[in-house]
Structure 1
Amino acid sequence: MKKLKIKTDIVIVTFIVLMPFAFYLYLLAPYQTKIWTTSFFVIDAEYYELVRHYLWINFYLLTTLLVIAIWFLTCKYWWRYVLFVPLIFQVYQYLFFLNWKSMYYSGFNFYHSLLISIPILTLLHMLSKKMGYYSIKKNYKDELNKEIFHLMNDLSLFEQNDYLIANKQFEILKKKKNMISKRKYLSELLVLRDSFIKK
């Protein structure tokens, strides 16, 4: 499970690192070109005048959409569902960008984009649950609370006599602090702490 988590984190970090470079892919398009034809694809700028403008807007919208999606997937806080609102708007903007002609003339509006946004949001929610960043944070919090409870319970069983002895040893150790090395001082502090807890 831990190896899978590390691999997932590496993929996400790599994706985040490469995203700014993907944003500048529009620079690969020929300058002052309205239609870019290669052996693999044809890009027609249409309304956007130049292919570079078309690609710049495309990568801008897509990068923003992916950043918000990654933020939602990796967010460990309960308020992450608020990110659905900008995600819905970003999906709408990207759909409008891809089909601006049909959407403009057919009266396609924001409510229609919800039909497409809902499956995307459902998929993101399922991926988020599968990745488990929120539940991992909750598990760490529970473990910390249990450990604090046990330590406090051990300390509450500590008797007054033992406290006076430990305090006296600590005072002696503080006086010796300038005469011994830092490493020795820290190791003696740890020994004192361990004896304090074990009692």
Structure 2
Amino acid sequence: MKDKLTKTNTKSHQTDRKKRLIIGGVIAIILAITPFLFYLYKYAPDNSKIWETTLFTIESKGFSNAQAYIHALYTKITFVIITSLWFLTSKDWWKWAILIPLTMFLFQLLGVINYQISYIDNFDFWYSLPIIMPIIVFLIWISRELNKTIGHLDLKDEIEEELENYKKNNNVN
């Protein structure tokens, strides 16, 4: 019975390890691609409002040319990808703070997609404020709770240490 349980446990551990390796590899590839996304705009024509290739056609929308549109679009996409991966892979309690810049980048991306060039990056912070404020309040609350817990743990450690010293000094078992 124990051998069967050990084999199942080992197989499960190997599967989890393989899965983590694949996910880590995908994340590494995405991160390695992001600089290429960031500089993709250099391949777009800077003197035309339309960029036509065999795969796609992109119009400059409200931008002066296709290159400016691609630059704005892929800059925002790159930041959304990087901050999303950071949020998804972070194991720290403060990972929720990453949602603040991620929310701002998403609003900026929507501004680029909606082709209202006069509003891009100007009011995104104010539009994202209703989403950001609850996150900030939540982070402050978690921080206070963690400080209380850490304080209680420190106090518990001090009490245990004092009891151990008392036992040693008074030969109590």
TM range (shorter): 0.5 to 0.7
Which residue in 1 is equivalent to 2:72? 57
* 2:38–2:78 CA contact under 8 A, matched in 1: yes
Using the TM superposition, give the Cα deviation of residue 27 of structure 1 relative to its aligned residue in structure 2, in angstroms.
1.8
* 2:63–2:115 CA contact under 8 A, matched in 1: no
Q: Give the distance between the partners of 2:34 and 2:61, measured in 1 at CA.
A: 26
Q: Give the distance between the partners of 1:78 and 1:46, measured in 2 at CA.
A: 41
Q: Give the distance between the partners of 2:29 and 2:54, measured in 1 at CA.
A: 29
Using the TM superposition, give the Cα deviation of residue 39 of structure 1 relative to its aligned residue in structure 2, in angstroms.
4.2
- In structure 2, the gaps of 5 or more residues are 1-15, 132-173
* 2:63–2:69 CA contact under 8 A, matched in 1: yes
SS at structure 2 position matched to 1:48: coil
Question: Cα deviations across residues 94-133 of structure 1 (Å, max 9, x unaligned)?
Answer: 11110134x96xxx9826x96xxxxxxxxxxxxxxxxxxx
SS at structure 2 position matched to 1:69: helix
Give the structure-1-normalised TM-score.
Answer: 0.50
Question: Cα deviations across residues 153-180 of structure 1 (Å, max 9, x unaligned)?
Answer: xxxxxxxxxxxxxxxxxxxxxxxxxxxx
Give the structure-2-normalised TM-score.
Answer: 0.56
Q: Which amino acid aligns with 1:70?
A: L
Q: How does 1:92-103 map to 2 (within 5 A)?
A: 92-101=107-116
Which residue in 2 is equivalent to 1:110? 127
Q: Give the distance between the partners of 2:95 and 2:104, measured in 1 at CA.
A: 16
- In structure 1, the gaps of 5 or more residues are 115-199
Structure 1 pair 33–100 and aligned structure 2 pair: CA distance change class (3 A)? closer
Q: Cα RMSD between the aligned structures?
A: 2.8
Which residue in 2 is equivalent to 1:7? 22
Using the TM superposition, give the Cα deviation of residue 10 of structure 1 relative to its aligned residue in structure 2, in angstroms.
0.9
Which residue in 1 is equivalent to 2:5? none
Q: Which runs of 4+ in 1 moved over 3 A?
A: none
Q: Give the distance between the partners of 2:19 and 2:113, measured in 1 at CA.
A: 35
Q: Give the distance between the partners of 1:95 and 1:58, measured in 2 at CA.
A: 9
The structure whose residues are more often helix, as a share, is 1
Q: Which amino acid aligns with 1:58?
A: L
Q: Give the distance between the partners of 1:52 and 1:84, measured in 2 at CA.
A: 29
Using the TM superposition, give the Cα deviation of residue 73 of structure 1 relative to its aligned residue in structure 2, in angstroms.
1.0
